[in-house]
């Protein structure tokens, strides 16, 4: 029997969907079939279940903060269960350690973090059973079945595991050492600093620096009034407004100059000296990544990025849209193959009948939308 370990519950449900299965509380049982002759047990991790222990848990001498103990570079990094994830690890470990399980299928997201989440759980479970890797970014039933039929050797994706481990080590080394160093130095140089801790992180600190830099620019910005000359024109019954422009500049910083142009043009006849017409094909917009969706929702509905994510997440949990936290604007061919059926369903709904029924263009071979090489962890956000 095989044990399949997914990264999260929704992913586990999608992986079980093509097969006859039953949910058994903390895991899913897949009945014997062509893909799994002896059946399979499917469990999920609910994201990262482990974290690197803090310095004082590696060495009690490091509990007190002193500059003399920096830098802290452990010979080996130790892990501990995240307290809130204890029950989830217990459920996964029971599946992995089940005597009937002879092989483990790592089924995290197809990226370094998905690799780390599952392989670390297996490692911390203390088992040494054969492993293979399920590599699938589209969770349509057909794509899932094909992926299970073409499992990869775990050695093939092991570099991603090492890459993720190196990233987590870098986060720990920079965060723990730099936070202690800055905190101790600020406390020694600043009166009244007290026992405040100043956190420094590999990602958070440069990101915060960008926010601070932008905020300083806003605070030091000095507004300067300017003037523009706008005229109303009637050309053979066609009314429009035109703006005075010279050398691509429309602004006057001296009111008198703008008024001089106004006075010179007031009441005079206008003449169209040149008319340019041009036909340009405008392709439909690309699929949404999370950032483009948030930008559009802010512009159209004045939604904050957080509200857009919350709304999209709720739709995702109801299976109305695909996974929202994506930086991709493309989908896989397997996902695109489902679009015609979605359009047929939309054409039966009154609000969309007119638009969906008139859609004849296929994008299945259009690399502007369908390109598996440009899909990383997750494909673009789309309706189901």
Residue 160 CB contacts under 8 Å (≥ 6 apart), including other chains: 111, 112, 115, 116
Contact (CB, 8 A) for 289 and 384: no
Residue 296 CB contacts under 8 Å (≥ 6 apart), including other chains = 288
Contact between residue 155 and residue 131 where contact means Cβ atoms under 8 Å apart? no
In angstroms, the CA 131 to CA 59 distance is 34
Q: Is 381 left (phi over 0), alpha (psi -120 to 50) or beta?
A: beta
Taking the C-alpha atoms of residue 358 and residue 343, their distance in angstroms, rounded to an integer, is 10
Active-site annotation holder among 169, 253, 320, 323: 323
Reduced to 3 states (helix: H, G, I; strand: E, B; else coil), residue 330 is coil
The enclosing H or E element of 3 equals strand 2-6
Distance between CA atoms of 2 and 11, rounded to whole angstroms? 17
- Report the distance separating Cα 384 and Cα 381, nearest Å: 10
Active-site residue 227, yes or no? no
3-state secondary structure of 166: helix
Residue that the structure tokens 């369908």 belong to: 370
CB atoms within 10 A of CB 2: 23
Q: Mind telling me the catalytic residues?
A: 323
């Amino acid at each position: 029997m095989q044990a399949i370990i997914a990264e999260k519950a929704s992913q586990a449900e999608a992986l079980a969907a093509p097969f006859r299965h039953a949910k058994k509380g903390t895991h899913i049982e897949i009945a014997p079939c062509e893909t799994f002759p002896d059946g399979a047990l499917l469990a999920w991790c609910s994201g990262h279940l482990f974290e690197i222990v803090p310095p004082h848990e590696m060495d009690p001498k490091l509990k007190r903060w002193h500059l003399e103990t920096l830098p802290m570079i452990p010979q080996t990094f130790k892990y501990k269960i995240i307290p809130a994830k204890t029950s989830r690890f217990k459920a996964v470990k029971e599946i992995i350690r089940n005597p009937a399980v002879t092989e483990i299928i790592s089924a995290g997201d197809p990226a370094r973090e998905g690799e780390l989440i599952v392989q670390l759980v297996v490692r911390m479970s203390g088992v040494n059973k054969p492993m293979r890797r399920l590599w699938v970014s589209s969770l349509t039933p057909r794509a899932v079945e094909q992926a299970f039929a073409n499992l990869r050797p775990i050695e093939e994706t092991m570099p991603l595991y090492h890459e993720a481990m190196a990233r987590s080590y870098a986060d720990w080394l920079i965060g723990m050492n730099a936070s202690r160093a800055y905190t101790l130095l600020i406390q020694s140089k600043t009166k009244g600093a007290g026992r405040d801790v100043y956190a420094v992180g590999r990602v958070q600190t440069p990101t915060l620096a960008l926010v601070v830099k932008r905020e300083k620019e806003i605070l030091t910005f000095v507004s300067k009034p300017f003037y523009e000359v706008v005229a109303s024109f009637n050309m053979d019954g066609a009314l429009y407004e035109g703006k005075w422009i010279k050398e691509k500049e429309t602004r006057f910083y001296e009111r008198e100059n703008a008024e001089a142009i106004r006075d010179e043009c007031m009441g005079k006849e206008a003449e169209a000296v040149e008319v340019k017409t041009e036909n340009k094909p405008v392709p439909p917009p690309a699929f949404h990544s999370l950032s483009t969706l948030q930008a559009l929702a802010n512009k159209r509905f004045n939604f904050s990025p957080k509200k857009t994510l919350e709304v999209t997440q709720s739709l995702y949990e109801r299976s109305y849209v695909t996974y929202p936290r994506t930086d991709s604007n493309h989908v896989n061919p397997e996902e695109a193959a489902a679009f015609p059926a979605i359009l047929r369903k939309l054409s039966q709904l009154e609000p969309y009948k007119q638009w969906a029924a008139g859609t004849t263009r296929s994008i299945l071979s259009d690399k502007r939308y369908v390109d598996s090489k440009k899909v990383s962890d997750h494909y673009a956000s789309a309706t189901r």
